C-alpha cells in the first residue's frame, strides 16, 4: 500500500523545525511502524537525504524508547482498546492512501534533540531524587522474611510496570509527569521496604518534578488513557495522600 508521511524534521534543538512530506510505496501490512520508518530511511539514504532520527531499542514493547506522536496520539491508538508502544503498532491498522503525521513528544520538559528524538532525562532526575531504597539491609534477605499483604503487593507490582516512556507527559495538556512520578512513589509506598523513607521520598520527587519543567496535574486523565502499561490514575491519588501526610509530623503539626 501507499502511505504519505508528514514527519517533523529538526536539525538540532535550537534549529527551526518543520513538517516534511514523504511518499512510501509498497508498504507491507505485516510491518511494524518502526520497520516502516526503517524503510523510509533506506529510501532517504538512497536519495542522499539525511535519514529521520528516532529512538528505539528492544522493539518488543519493553523499554519504552520508541516515543512518537502518531496522528496526534502518543504511540498511536489503533490495534486494540489497550494502548501499546509504537514498536508494537503495525501497518495493518492503516489503509492504502492514508496520510500519517509523525511528531516527537511535545512537552516543555522534553526538549527536542533532533527530528523525533527528545531528551527524556528529566524522568531520570525524578527517580534520582527519591525513587529508590537506601536503607542498608545487608545481603539479600530470604523472600518470605518480609511479608507484604497481597493487595499492597499487587498495587506495587502494577505500579512497577511503568517503563518511563513519557507518553503520559506527551498526552497531558499541561505536560505533567505526575502519572510517571506517582507510579514510582506508589511502587515503594506499598512495600514494607519503602516505609522508612516514604515521607521524604514523595516530597523530594515532587520537588524534582516541578524543578525539571513539568506542568501541574489537573486530573484530566489523558495520561492514563495512553499509558502502554496501563498505570491507573489512582496512583496519582496515592501520591497526593502521601504528599499530604508528608507535610505533617506524627504529632499532627506541620512538618
Instruction: Give the pLDDT confidence of 15-46 residue by residue, as tens digits.
Output: 999 999 999 999 999 999 999 999 999 999 99
Is 226 a member of any domain?
A: yes
Give the pLDDT score at 79. Answer: 64
Looking at the structure, tell me whether residues 147 and 232 fall in a common domain. yes
- Tens of pLDDT, residue by residue over 169-178, are 999 999 999 9
Among 71, 103, 135, residue at a domain's last position: 103
Report if residue 136 sits inside a domain. Answer: yes
Asked whether residue 98 falls in the same domain as residue 140, the answer is no
Domain boundary among 70, 103, 136: 103
Q: Which domain holds residue 192?
A: 120-246
The Cα–Cα gap between 24 and 52 comes to: 14
Residue 222 lies in a domain: yes
Question: In this model, does residue 81 exceed pLDDT 80?
Answer: no
Q: pLDDT tens for residues 155-203?
A: 999 999 999 999 999 999 999 999 999 999 999 999 998 998 999 999 9
Surface-to-core class of residue 30, CB atoms within 10 Å of its CB (0-12 exposed, 13-18 middle, 19+ buried): exposed
Same domain, 242 and 134: yes
Asked whether residue 215 is domain-assigned, the answer is yes
- Give the strand pairing for 18-24 and 69-70: unpaired
Is 236 found in the same domain as 124? Answer: yes
- CATH code of the domain in which 81 resides: 3.10.20.30
The verdict on residue 112 lying in a domain is no
Phi, psi of 54 (to 5 degrees): -150, 155
Residues 241 and 131 both lie in one domain: yes
Domains in the chain, number: 2
- Examine residue 113 and state whether it is found in any structural domain, yes or no: no
Residue 251 pLDDT > 50: no
Question: Both 49 and 129 in a single domain?
Answer: no
Share of the chain above pLDDT 70, in %: 96
Domain identity same for 8 and 90: yes
CA distance 141 to 161: 23
Query: What separation in angstroms does the CA of 165 have from each of 43, 75, 84, 90, 109?
Result: 28, 10, 11, 19, 13
Taking only the tens place, the pLDDT of each residue in 107-153 is 999 999 999 999 999 999 999 999 998 877 678 777 678 888 999 99
Phi, psi (rounded to 5 degrees) for 73: -120, 130
Query: Per DSSP, what are the bridge partners of residue 20?
Result: 7
Q: What cell does 177 get?
A: 509527569
Q: What percent of the chain has pLDDT over 90?
A: 85
pLDDT for residue 139: 80
Amino acid at each position: 500500500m501507499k502511505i504519505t508521511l508528514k514527519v517533523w524534521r529538526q536539525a538540532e534543538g535550537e534549529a527551526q523545525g518543520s513538517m516534511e512530506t514523504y511518499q512510501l510505496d509498497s508498504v507491507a501490512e505485516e510491518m511494524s511502524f518502526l520497520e516502516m520508518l526503517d524503510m523510509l530511511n533506506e529510501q532517504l539514504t538512497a536519495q542522499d537525504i539525511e535519514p529521520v532520527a528516532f529512538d528505539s531499542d528492544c522493539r518488543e514493547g519493553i523499554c519504552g524508547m520508541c516515543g512518537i506522536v502518531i496522528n496526534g496520539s502518543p504511540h498511536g491508538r489503533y490495534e486494540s482498546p489497550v494502548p501499546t508502544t509504537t514498536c508494537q503498532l503495525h501497518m495493518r491498522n492503516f489503509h492504502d492512501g492514508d496520510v500519517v503525521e509523525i511528531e516527537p513528544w511535545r512537552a516543555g520538559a522534553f526538549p527536542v534533540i533532533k527530528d523525533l528524538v527528545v531528551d527524556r532525562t528529566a524522568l531520570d532526575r525524578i527517580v534520582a531524587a527519591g525513587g529508590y531504597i537506601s536503607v542498608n539491609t545487608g545481603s539479600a534477605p530470604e523472600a518470605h522474611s518480609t511479608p507484604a499483604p497481597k493487595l499492597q503487593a499487587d498495587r506495587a507490582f502494577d505500579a512497577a510496570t511503568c517503563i518511563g516512556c513519557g507518553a503520559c507527559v506527551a498526552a497531558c495538556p499541561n505536560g505533567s509527569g505526575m502519572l510517571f512520578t506517582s507510579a514510582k512513589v506508589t511502587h515503594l509506598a506499598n512495600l514494607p521496604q519503602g516505609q522508612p523513607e516514604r515521607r521524604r521520598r514523595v516530597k523530594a520527587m515532587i520537588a524534582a518534578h516541578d524543578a525539571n519543567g513539568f506542568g501541574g496535574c489537573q486530573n484530566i486523565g489523558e495520561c492514563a488513557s495512553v499509558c502502554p502499561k496501563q498505570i491507573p490514575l489512582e496512583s496519582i491519588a496515592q501520591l497526593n495522600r502521601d504528599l499530604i501526610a508528608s507535610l505533617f509530623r506524627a504529632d499532627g503539626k506541620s512538618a
